[in-house]
Structure 1
């Protein structure tokens, strides 16, 4: 029996010791995990997380292959610089310049011709070249300092700006801008509507059935609003009678109404180097087009003899009393037209509101093609 009890004590003693050892190892592992968790929490407190616009923390995500590829493509796109591309529809080559992009296939035009690879200039040289081209373009197009937005003060259908790149002379303001000639004393111009010859055309007022065209010998305007090609302005022409307020023709269809519609092209008053103020066109004006009308104060020949002839325009009526237009105190953009030995505009006598032959309207038409920024004279 003693042996049995000794064996039992030995057995239960070993079991107790093994149980004690296992429980102690489990406690040690548990303590280790708690220490690691506490260490990680302290680390998170020490390093604050990044926060987006909405106040939420940004979670970390692993970099995958797509992110690396996106960054690579972004760098390649940024390094590529297209410098010039000159392509043509013919068999001529298409010229392209790239840098740092050797694996890209050469572009081709629609004829299948490959591009030539040019040496790319540096960014500084590229900006300098762009600035030089801008300055050249600025010189060609005359970038001006505008000193008056519209000298007519919205009286013309197209604004008339004033520019001065020569000196400090301000915009001229020593006259009253008008769009129709005026009188400062009665001259008894026959403007009675019952004395006007009028038409009642149903067509475009370009045939011999139009009484206004018959008064002018023929209709001198084409469908494009310009003088017909067989009219030589410089050798003199008959009087032009446009359709008037008494005519029954359709205004929208009538081609015999040009001067009465006013200016159609952009003009500019500018300071010249030698001749004071002048006028130039801001756009191309084809031959035969109406440019502007000489407007001023209608005076008699006796009054004109007492005034300076700087702005006088003689109406030259041989069979009637002679009248003049003076643009000194009342005028429009045409008062700044300078004399030219090689004129590009010529005056024609036109009648619209009345048909009193003593007082025609003076309309300037282009006797040649006028380029943009070309002075009128």
Structure 2
């Protein structure tokens, strides 16, 4: 186990707890990066993520209860410690999750306010051996603990496609495409790109056997916040990872892309398709390649 020395705060004081940068990481690694607490509106996104558009509850209590609060109509999301309840159906988190919001009458200490509070655990950004930058836990994280969002610009599908095709084969792709299946054939897509505007979630690497799970959480609007929770107990100094393909969530899929959908790209666009990138996660079940798929852009 390597214990690194840390100093500077990547968030610049924005987070409740400093997001530390290892002293070995060169300063220029963040020269074109703007830190934000939550996702912002980008090209092609018709909704301002910061706007409060969902109605609030009228629960004038310290903490809301599922039998009386409309925000908890799909069940209690968090336990008394603020940890994600392991309520799963068919192996995934399939229930919609709504936190109490700015219009709710309940207190700020309500049990149903977790993701909106931001990072409350000690995290460190460091240089990995073969996967660029990574993030490690600087404290022990129990199963179900909220770690951070995957925040960035929320963009439309055409903008996501344009950005993907403008990349060179050597460029890293950070765009997450969230697909939520809400019954029948209805699918809701959300595209988040943190390459220049984002938070600590941008630096979390993929693993085919991750210790984090991504869950869409809605707070102030119908735009989901991509929240990352510990899916098991995580030890101090352990690297944090999540599955870029969203393999642990039965009603949602997350994708980064590296191949074009059949018959949708022609001419000059074909030459811009990035090659598959080798996965270096080291897990026993590693698939060999990062789970990138441009078919979500159909």
Cα contact 1:344–1:376 (8 A) shared by 2? yes
Mark the CA change 1:344 to 1:164 in structure 2 (over 3 Å): closer, same or farther: same
Tell me how far 1:234 sits from its aligned partner: 6.0
Q: How does 1:118-197 map to 2 (within 5 A)?
A: 140=1, 142-144=3-5, 146=6, 149-163=8-22, 165=24, 170-185=28-43, 187-189=45-47, 193=52, 195-197=53-55
Q: What is the RMSD computed on CA atoms of the aligned residues?
A: 2.4
What SS does the corresponding residue of 1:298 show, helix, strand or coil?
Answer: strand
Q: Which runs of 5+ in 2 are unaligned?
A: 165-171, 242-298
Instruction: Give the number of the structure whose residues are more often strand, by fraction.
Output: 2
Cα contact 2:212–2:229 (8 A) shared by 1? yes
Q: Which whole-Å CA distance do the structure 2 matches of 1:278 and 1:150 have between them? A: 15
Q: How does 1:256-275 map to 2 (within 5 A)?
A: 256-275=112-131
**2:176 is equivalent to residue 313 of structure 1:** yes
Q: Which runs of 5+ in 1 are unaligned?
A: 1-139
Partner residue in 1 for 2:260: none
Partner residue in 2 for 1:40: none
Q: Map Cα deviations across residues 109-133 of structure 1 (whole Å, 9 max, x no partner).
A: xxxxxxxxxxxxxxxxxxxxxxxxx
Instruction: Give the number of the structure whose residues are more often helix, by fraction.
Output: 1
Cα contact 1:201–1:210 (8 A) shared by 2? yes
Q: Provide the TM-score with structure 1 as the length reference.
A: 0.56
| Candidates 138, 157, 162, aligned match of 1:301 | 157
Cα contact 1:197–1:212 (8 A) shared by 2? no
- Structure (1 or 2) with the larger CA radius of gyration: 1
Q: Provide the TM-score with structure 2 as the length reference.
A: 0.70
Cα contact 1:234–1:346 (8 A) shared by 2? no
Quick one: higher RCO (CA 8 Å, sep 6+), 1 or 2?
2
Q: Map Cα deviations across residues 243-302 of structure 1 (whole Å, 9 max, x no partner).
A: 0111111223x1100001111110000001111100000000000010000110111111
Q: Map Cα deviations across residues 100-157 of structure 1 (whole Å, 9 max, x no partner).
A: xxxxxxxxxxxxxxxxxxxxxxxxxxxxxxxxxxxxxxxx56143x4x5111111111
Q: Which whole-Å CA distance do the structure 2 matches of 1:176 and 1:170 have between them? A: 13
**2:240 is equivalent to residue 376 of structure 1:** yes
What SS does the corresponding residue of 2:163 show, helix, strand or coil?
Answer: coil
Cα contact 2:33–2:196 (8 A) shared by 1? yes
**2:143 is equivalent to residue 287 of structure 1:** yes
Q: Which whole-Å CA distance do the structure 2 matches of 1:302 and 1:219 have between them? A: 36
